[in-house]
Structure 1
Amino acid sequence: MWAKLRSRKYLQRILLSLTVFIVVVLCVFASTMYVKMKSTTLHIQTEANRKVLAQVKYNVEYMDEILKNLMMSLYFDNEVIPILYGQTFSYESIATKLAKLDKLADSSTYLHSIILYNNYTHTYLSTNRKFQDNLHGEIGRFEQQIQQLENQHSLHKMQLIPFKISNDSMTAVDFFSYVMYRDEAMPTLKQSALILNVNPEWLFNNIKVINDLAYDKRSSVLLMDGQGNSYTSENRSANFLPADVAARIQASQADFESFTYGKGNNKSIVTVMSLGMYQWKAVSIQSYDYTLSELKGIRNMLVISTVLFLLLSAVIAYIISRRLYRPVERMIMQLKGTLPAGPKLMKEKDEWSYLSDVYASMIDKTNTAEIQHARNRQIVEGFHIRNLLTKSRSLTKDEFLHLLTEHDLAIDAEGPFMIGVCQIDDFETRMMQASADDQKIYRFALGNIGEELLSPWCKLIWIEMGDNHFVFLASLLDKDSFSLPAFEASLKEIQQIIQRYYQLSTTISYAAPFDHYLQIAEAYSEAQELIKYRMIFGHSTLLSSERVKVNERHEDLYQATQIEKQIIEHLRRGNSDELMKNFHQFFTYAISLTYTQFMYSILHMTVTVTKTISEMNENRSRPIAIDLRQFYKKVLEQETVGEIEGLFHALTAQLTNETSPGENDKTEILCHTMKEIIAENCNNPDFSLQTIAQLLKMSSAYIGRVFKQGTGTAVTEYINQVRLNNALALLEAKDISITEVMERVGYRSQSYFFKLFKAEYGTTPKDYRLRKVIGTDKI
């Protein structure tokens, strides 16, 4: 059972929680009850002390009142006055009065004795013969104490004053005296006085009776006079009080006060009541343990009850815990084995943690299955949409309708339709910098934003056909209210939002609206062709057939050839400024072409430039350090004409740095001189490279190699180019025959002339003149 309990951590937690709760509640309840009972007991005891001390106060006040009345009665008695103030007297004359005083002292329970002092005769008369006879020096000690009290200014008329005149060390005081005399300003021993001595046993016996009835032997009631002297009920000095406690009692100004002092078994309860006269106080000192002794039994009984109740509570808590745990146990038995690591988890975690892990595992499996199902559905759906985009003509009407219904595609079956293609500009770089999660967000954002912004115009399907190829197929909601400019504005807004929030530049192309689903594949092909014009129009553009529409155009072979020749010539010469101008002129010309012509021109120019640099390296002692294969690859990787032109400008700058200025100047001078000679003498049919060598007095092989290096063209080829250019100008004149043109430019053979002309310009001299005549200036 214990081993089973140890394995069930949640059951342990329930049992422990209930047990701790019960223990805390019981302990708090028991402690609160005990503290309350203790507080109540102390309060009751304090009130009892107040009543006892109030009785002592009453007895002392009653005695004080009686003795004061007696003092006044005796002091003004006609028989006592002569004894106090007579200058002469005899014992026979006062014997009767003394007998009365003796009888009065004996009859009173309060009086110890009466003393009359005559200052004139310096005589003491007392009902206490022992004092009067001064057998042991009592009078001297009495006068000594009076003198001390006067020195301390504490001898006052009609106040209770303790006196100790005997040699008995067992007693603290012999009697308490009331002194009455005439002038308080004079010393007491220099004037007559009446002294009533109070029997201390009466006062102490009264306290002793109260003490014996109310307290145990470890408790006592004390009297403390105004000088701080304390007296017990046995007429002893209470010198067992600590000095700080005695000082606190004496300094107290309260009518009633209770406090505790000491620690452990020596702890006591002190109760103080002012007697209301002469600064005397009644003090009760009780044992703290004795006061609370009755509570010990209650406390023990409370502890035993608490322990028994705790044991019973533990049994009840176990029963309740088992009942609470039963549903959890059943659930664990049902789910056991769901997780492969179930037993291990049960050892390391509690039951709820195990159940939570099982639940999380089941949710993960469910979500994974749902995601997998959704992905499979998307893949199948994407497959059918791709077929629709590429093979729409092969689908029957029923197949098209079934496709829309089965895959719940958002478009309408009747159209009209519209297709567009979207691409992310600089896709490779942006995707390389983005994480996998960011790439998913980009793809999702394109479709989501596109569907939201185009929803006022159409129902939309957005699909990713491959890397950086997103297609939307839409059916217009209302063809009559459809506005192409407003639709284009929505597409531009898509581009702006994607740029603003995701810093992605996009290019979008779309085909013109069409009415029948059979035209979907044709429109998709059109949109794909249009998106290629990003190369010409640049990033973040919106491409439509209207924007890229051009008339059927033919390449201006003469312009292209001339630009290419100039580029080769300046490339060989290393003339960077002119080369920059030529490249700009070329790209300005290229963007006016169709996409296919543009790409052909760019690739042809790239091949020409790389080939020219290779030929230059063959004739140079120090080849130009340029990776031509990498340059060609970079050209193919660019997305816009501006980026391609930038590569050619960078190549020009690199060539300028690699080429020696002195070598360029020498080659340029020689080439320029040879061109001047050719321009001047090319009309001579016998003119050739050897003629130029003779004129310059140089080797024909050397000048031929230098000219080829400087211009990229052989001397013979350049001579033919100059002759054919001159022929073009002459052919535009209407009064010169083609044969005469041939002879004027330096050719003898008509067939050779026609062959060179057609190879250079793609047409014969006759056809060229004919087209010029009818007004067509482009071949």
Structure 2
Amino acid sequence: MKGFGFYKSKKYLQRVLSSILLSMVIVLLASSFANTYLLEKSVKRIQEDSNLKILTQMQYNFSYMNEIITHLSYFVFKDNLLIPLMFDETLPKMDLIRSYQRMSSIMDSSSFLHSMVVYNHTQNEIYGTTSPFLLDGGVTKKKIFDWLLDPSHMHETSRLIPVSLEHEDGQIDAFAFVVTDSLKPFSRGESAIVLYIKSDWVFDSLKKMNDTGSRSQGDILMGDQEGRLYSSHALGDFAQSSTQDDIHNYIMNHKLATNEPSGFVIGDVDGKKSMITYMADPIPNWTILYVQSYDQLMAEVTETRVKSLLVSGVLLLIAIGISVWLSYKLYHPIEDMLHRIRFQHPRDEHTRRNEGDELHVMSENYLALSHTLQEISSEHIVNKYYIRKFLTDGQMFSHHDMIHLIEKHRLNIVYPSDTIVCVLRLDHFQAYASTTDLALKKMHSFAITNIAQEMMSKTYPCEAVEVWGDHVILIVSRNDTATTSEMDQMIPILEEIQQTIATYYDLSLSCGLSDPIAQLTQLSSGYTQALQNSLYTVIFGYKSIITSEMVKENNANKRVSIPEVIERKLSESLKKGLMTEAGIELEKAFSLFATFHYHDIHRAVTNLAWVIKYTVVEIMENRVTKMSFNVDYIHHIPQEKETLEEIYVALLALCSQICEGQKPSNVERNDMILETVKELIHQKYADINLSQQTIASTVKLSSAYLGKLFKDSCQLTLTEYINDIRLKHAQQLLENGDHSVLDIMEKCGYANPSYFFRLFKAKFGSTPKEYRMKKSIS
């Protein structure tokens, strides 16, 4: 009852539960009925195909049987022993005996023959072979005679005709096949042979095939044009004429609707729903029917439907349980929200819960809380405004005014105790500002302000406010009896704040602390001092907590630049490519930077970067090849890095790159000399006076020095190189020009033919004439 009362009191929960439950019930029932409907359609379609296959097989059997009988009838009708029996007016006894023997042998050789009859129109007599025909006193003979000679029914020849020889209830026990000497319907004025085929040959084999292939057994019937039904067994339920008329009407209506010779129709047969599959004209003017009980046919479907409903019922019970559980899970956050909002109401205030559901109650609570929040937010904005005013424009207020405002707005600042201002600055602020969107910046500022105030307030009275977006200010009040050691307790709290912000927001904070402030009017001075101390992150690195004592010497240092000797030695070391000496001078410079006042550090570091840049520019002006780095980037390093350590590492890497990028000057000079010499040879190879001495004179070097330099570098003498160039040009002229050998010799700088021939043969293995002849032949 308690659970029902809880459910009854929750209108929104009722809606959620009823919606989920109704959806599950609809889905389950729809799924169950859809499955059984589709299954029933599938079974009917499969059964229709199966039945049509059976009837098609039956049609094929009739056609096959008709073909066999046609061949048999042809030979029988032409049999010389049977011709006298058909046409003679008087039949000798021996001919009669021979004819009967012939008919017996035909019957024995054909297992599918039921009997055989010969009609002699001259004698108006019928001769048969079966025992009933001969021994029943003429009953069978009369039945055959009446059927054959019935003037109201003209029998087609060479066609299978269903007949009843022994039954009176419409059962078919044979198929008659009338054979005459013409293709016209049989008449009394002509002789004929009638072959009777066993009906079991068709009906029983088809019934066995159907019983094997399907458990939905039915009855195979044959209907004539008037709708009378025949079967190889007792008609049973189909014996009544009204039932036969109903079946006939079903088939005729379906034929008219579909204009197809075969198909299936569902209707009531003798009060029972049945499926009737039919195929018209397997035998001319006859229809084959296959009648099945619809209930028996759909027994498995009905069983499946019952099982499906049972399963749906079980699933419905499970769905009810899941619905209750899921509804409560979905409702649980709303219930929690109601509990959280409800306590905000005064105890004497009654909510109008009967006027709506839980969402209505929450909306009323929300409106009330929103109004209250607006009032609190306005008060919060005013409080933060005055705190910022105390820090930035403290001189505007008197001590009395500040105390009055603190009391009026309930600021968590204690007086007359000392106060310390803490500035928490974001490290890597330039990168943070350029990669973080505005909404995330506001969230981080709000989080840092509240987390820092909450953690510090556990030990000291504290107010926090965010200023300019890059730093948060804490105003921490000390106890009246605070000692220096108690002052030191703030540092672990600040470290904990730094760790918390780094853990949850992946942000790094540095902190600057002011000296204790005795007067509230000095808060702005304390803020300036704390902010100034926080800037010394450039020396102490990220996540540092900096007090005035730590930067006392920096603030007192009047030096604004490093000695010029350090800059000069650094420049000379870079020009000489001496990385060790350059590193020593760079380390000296940064050791001095760490003692400078904050405002002088960046200026001094920037000056040093310009010194390095000017040195690089000078080096590059005196080099043939340029260095592989961007010179304009050098003086930007101090602006992009925030600490001396980062700047030192960047400049040290730059100096290393400068030293490694330089080659020894003599190596570079030698390369330039060799390139000049080679260029001279390529330009003046045709000059007869070109030699090592003339080239050495041109480049202002001694012949011996130039020869040694060329030999060491190219692994061949200068004269050999000159000859090599001249002979290559001679080779080209021999191959492509019509000049004589002497002209070629002169064009290539040779004056002595024998000397030219000797050099050419030594290089190419043949004289110039032989070389030209070989090339022309090839």
Instruction: Please classify the TM superposition score into its range, dividing by the shorter chain length.
Output: 0.3 to 0.5
Report the TM-score when normalising by structure 1.
Answer: 0.42
Normalised TM-score (structure 2): 0.42
Larger Rg: 1
